[in-house]
Amino acid sequence: MKLKKIEKRILKLVAKNKTYAEISKITKYSLSGASYYIRNLFNKYNVDNRMSLVLKAIKAGDIDITDIEGIENE
């Protein structure tokens, strides 16, 4: 799936089980901005929860579990 750079970054943060507030702080987006991107990812992957989002993204090859380490510093 074609993902924007920020979507991929947020997807990795979701995979690390970061909260909306933590994702907002790390990305420097507002809480509503972070929520917006996560909702868009739910829609793109046709899922309704974070676990399903991560599993579908890994299965699709959009993220790799080894990519998740150190994402806060990207």
Give residue-wise pLDDT tens across range 38-47: 999 999 999 9
The reply to whether CATH 1.20.120.420 applies to domain 5-68 is no
- CA-CA distance, 16 to 71, in Å (whole number)? 9
> Considering the entire predicted model, what is its pTM?
0.86
Q: List pLDDT tens digits, range 15-33.
A: 999 999 999 999 999 999 9
Domain segments of the chain as ranges: 5-68
For the stretch 55-62, contacts whose Cβ atoms lie closer than 8 Å and that sit 24 or more positions apart, written own/partner, are: 57/1, 57/11, 57/15, 58/15, 60/1, 62/1, 62/3, 62/8, 62/11
